[in-house]
Copies of this chain bind each other. A is one copy, B any other.
């Protein structure tokens, strides 16, 4: 245990009194598993009443800053994880407007994601050609780096249900690769590296790290009941090939993930170091950990053949467990002890610190990365000595964002607040200077915030303009729409000393996490090149039906407002592959293609080619029509599919 004093806040006594009281009650309640429910209805109100009286001022006056005039463009992009929808949402900020949903893990009937052969190949199919999975649970989206800032190449997002990672191309804003991680379950935290740990010329992302939250038998092929035989792994995926490079067997589990700016360290917070298999057992330890990985050493070990494989997987797994890593000078991992049940680990934009939020502890723990490297060099007696602050922030601290001016912003789930605090002041306070006022401001949010992120927060270019807060419950903030409430993504102005609440944005549950970056960091492309598609039908004259026994290929092109063939004939039982190239090259002149009763609908963007394969099992006349508005004569844009009995 760290010294008790560090968990004492340096705020004025009155506030501390209220929060200490709630603190005790809520934490007791939590272990009984009922507090947050009761808390949901009433906590925010008393917090506003007795907390620092900033809410009223915050609410007034600031609203217009976010509201753009018609036609005015946003200055930032936001990439929001789409939660169970399995997609990534693209927002414009500060307006909060949703500009696009990029389907990744789940089918999307607009795009034809999961319908076209091209998208099915990305998503993964079973032996019979049907989709392997149609559900997902995306939590965290992060983008590729160069020189410590986003470089507009890629973004990645996790699927917790089926332990998959998807990559988004940020030129076309499409998902181009999905990899299912072996040997793990509950893949949660994800973060790209920012540089190579060894080669300074590689000052950009080449790896993506993935933490697995659930522990399972290795391999998971029999229903072993004995939890002591379960393990959790930390995974490295190649940013380009999307192959799994290596995994690390660990003690405890992985929650969130962070990476250092120099590429040498990655870390995950661990909320279940006990490796309990029942809810009650996950709460038994005094402290949990922030687990550091020495990337260069792990890759040396893999190169030296010091690994195992499990089951059918060929992925090398190195041993990162405590017992095998006692000598810091050879250790692959370092377990830094942090208060019980932490949630969230975030890298400060000054490149110096990782900050772990306490969740069940009202604290944030500041870990100095130079000291972690010292530990791996044998210069620090224990990894815990890398902790430079452990300070009280409020109830239920979860995630931390930064303004690039030395301040951190941490969500307080139970207090329904965001607290702004100064990291260097917190370090001074922790070092013994009890006059150091590290808490700068608090603002009530509506309600129960999870993730938050500031503009450019997790880059060297953190600019301290906007803070978005993902509130898990909206309660009374929007018109009622039945049992399923929207969540509330709130936008806060953090450019001044005091935080100012700008706007409430309802969102479909539940986005979890997001990043916000300047609009000039991406260079979107809006028209495809014909050559990008091997199957492209490059001229309407190539249109036609070719037959090879039962196998039939139909080639079509689209040019508003007509398809290249007015009709085509098939025979019942044909195995048909239909290829459609959109020869319209005007930006945004997208066409759709639906076949009634055949469960086909997809779109082709300008100069895009897509294909579908189906069995013509229903005789009759089927009007294939353009489903994406294209032209005044869009309704007439059809072709007749005649299936002879």
Whether B100 and A486, one on each chain, are in contact in the complex, defined by CB atoms closer than 8 angstroms, is yes
- CA of A628 to CA of B160, assembled, Å: 12
Closest 3 CB pairs of A and B: A173-B482, A483-B605, A84-B110
CB within 8 Å for A137 and B594 given contacts A279-B637, A621-B220, A643-B223: yes
Looking at the complex, which one of B360, B396, B566, B629 makes contact with A279 (CB distance below 8 Å)? B566
User: Does A623 lie at the interface of the complex (its beta carbon under 8 Å from any beta carbon of B)?
Assistant: yes
Smallest beta-carbon distance A513→chain B, Å? 12
Chain B residue numbers with a CB within 8 Å of A167 are: none
Looking at the complex, which one of B109, B162, B473, B629 makes contact with A472 (CB distance below 8 Å)? B629
Smallest beta-carbon distance A490→chain B, Å? 7
Chain B residue numbers with a CB within 8 Å of A137 are: 594, 601, 627
User: Does A36 lie at the interface of the complex (its beta carbon under 8 Å from any beta carbon of B)?
Assistant: yes
Whether B133 and A173, one on each chain, are in contact in the complex, defined by CB atoms closer than 8 angstroms, is no
Q: Closest residue of chain B to A486, judged by CB?
A: B99
Q: Which of A64-72, A149-157, A240-248, A364-372 contacts B (4 or more CB under 8 A)?
A: A64-72
User: Does A201 lie at the interface of the complex (its beta carbon under 8 Å from any beta carbon of B)?
Assistant: no
A144-185 vs B, CB cutoff 8 Å, 1 = contact: the mask equals 000000000000000011110000000111100000000001
Chain B residue numbers with a CB within 8 Å of A526 are: 480, 482-483, 485
Whether A560 and B640, one on each chain, are in contact in the complex, defined by CB atoms closer than 8 angstroms, is no
Chain B residue numbers with a CB within 8 Å of A413 are: 632
- CA of A64 to CA of B595, assembled, Å: 44
- CA of A78 to CA of B230, assembled, Å: 50
Whether B606 and A525, one on each chain, are in contact in the complex, defined by CB atoms closer than 8 angstroms, is no
Whether A633 and B70, one on each chain, are in contact in the complex, defined by CB atoms closer than 8 angstroms, is no
- CA of A162 to CA of B71, assembled, Å: 37
CB within 8 Å for A601 and B84 given contacts A628-B510, A638-B279: yes
User: Does A631 lie at the interface of the complex (its beta carbon under 8 Å from any beta carbon of B)?
Assistant: yes
Interface size counted on chain A using CB atoms at 8 A: 161
CB within 8 Å for A162 and B596 given contacts A85-B110, A279-B637: yes
User: Does A134 lie at the interface of the complex (its beta carbon under 8 Å from any beta carbon of B)?
Assistant: yes
**Which of A92, A483, A503 has its CB near the most chain B CB atoms (within 10 A)?**
A483
Chain B residue numbers with a CB within 8 Å of A162 are: 596-597, 599
Whether B221 and A134, one on each chain, are in contact in the complex, defined by CB atoms closer than 8 angstroms, is no
- CA of A566 to CA of B33, assembled, Å: 14
Q: Which of A326-334, A427-435, A539-547, A584-592 contacts B (4 or more CB under 8 A)?
A: A584-592
Q: Which of A206-239 contact B (CB under 8 A)?
A: 213-214, 216-217, 220-225, 230
22 contacts between A and B (CB under 8 A): A33-B631, A60-B69, A70-B504, A71-B504, A73-B479, A84-B110, A97-B478, A99-B481, A100-B486, A107-B134, A109-B136, A162-B597, A220-B620, A220-B621, A224-B642, A279-B633, A279-B637, A279-B638, A414-B632, A450-B629, A481-B524, A483-B528
Whether B223 and A569, one on each chain, are in contact in the complex, defined by CB atoms closer than 8 angstroms, is yes
**Which of A474, A635, A637 has its CB near the most chain B CB atoms (within 10 A)?**
A635
- CA of A101 to CA of B509, assembled, Å: 10
User: Does A90 lie at the interface of the complex (its beta carbon under 8 Å from any beta carbon of B)?
Assistant: yes
Chain B residue numbers with a CB within 8 Å of A528 are: 483
- CA of A619 to CA of B629, assembled, Å: 48
Q: Closest residue of chain B to A597, judged by CB?
A: B162
User: Does A293 lie at the interface of the complex (its beta carbon under 8 Å from any beta carbon of B)?
Assistant: no
Chain B residue numbers with a CB within 8 Å of A594 are: 135, 137, 160-161
A471-504 vs B, CB cutoff 8 Å, 1 = contact: the mask equals 0111111111111111000100000000001111
Chain B residue numbers with a CB within 8 Å of A631 are: 33, 36-37
Whether B601 and A161, one on each chain, are in contact in the complex, defined by CB atoms closer than 8 angstroms, is yes
User: Does A271 lie at the interface of the complex (its beta carbon under 8 Å from any beta carbon of B)?
Assistant: yes
User: Does A555 lie at the interface of the complex (its beta carbon under 8 Å from any beta carbon of B)?
Assistant: no
Whether A562 and B501, one on each chain, are in contact in the complex, defined by CB atoms closer than 8 angstroms, is no
User: Does A530 lie at the interface of the complex (its beta carbon under 8 Å from any beta carbon of B)?
Assistant: no
Chain B residue numbers with a CB within 8 Å of A213 are: 635
Q: Which of A516-568 contact B (CB under 8 A)?
A: 519, 524-528, 559-562, 566-567
Q: Which of A99-127 contact B (CB under 8 A)?
A: 99-101, 106-112, 114-115
Chain B residue numbers with a CB within 8 Å of A101 are: 508
Q: Closest residue of chain B to A359, judged by CB?
A: B632
Chain B residue numbers with a CB within 8 Å of A438 are: none
Whether A619 and B221, one on each chain, are in contact in the complex, defined by CB atoms closer than 8 angstroms, is yes
Looking at the complex, which one of B64, B133, B483, B561 makes contact with A606 (CB distance below 8 Å)? B483
Whether B485 and A217, one on each chain, are in contact in the complex, defined by CB atoms closer than 8 angstroms, is no
Looking at the complex, which one of B83, B134, B220, B562 makes contact with A599 (CB distance below 8 Å)? B134
Q: Closest residue of chain B to A640, judged by CB?
A: B277
Smallest beta-carbon distance A95→chain B, Å? 9
A35-72 vs B, CB cutoff 8 Å, 1 = contact: the mask equals 11100110000000000000000011001100111110
Smallest beta-carbon distance A105→chain B, Å? 8
Chain B residue numbers with a CB within 8 Å of A559 are: 33
Whether A478 and B99, one on each chain, are in contact in the complex, defined by CB atoms closer than 8 angstroms, is yes
Chain B residue numbers with a CB within 8 Å of A637 are: 279
Looking at the complex, which one of B217, B474, B586 makes contact with A40 (CB distance below 8 Å)? B586
- CA of A136 to CA of B77, assembled, Å: 30
Chain B residue numbers with a CB within 8 Å of A174 are: 482
Whether B110 and A83, one on each chain, are in contact in the complex, defined by CB atoms closer than 8 angstroms, is yes
List 9 additional A-B contacts (Cβ < 8 Å) besides A70-B502, A223-B644, A223-B645. Answer: A63-B69, A67-B67, A77-B479, A84-B601, A92-B506, A100-B508, A173-B481, A221-B620, A509-B590
Looking at the complex, which one of B446, B476, B589 makes contact with A37 (CB distance below 8 Å)? B589
Q: Which of A598-645 contact B (CB under 8 A)?
A: 599-601, 603, 605-606, 608, 619-623, 625, 627-633, 635-638, 640, 642-645
User: Does A282 lie at the interface of the complex (its beta carbon under 8 Å from any beta carbon of B)?
Assistant: yes
Whether B221 and A501, one on each chain, are in contact in the complex, defined by CB atoms closer than 8 angstroms, is no
Chain B residue numbers with a CB within 8 Å of A527 are: 483
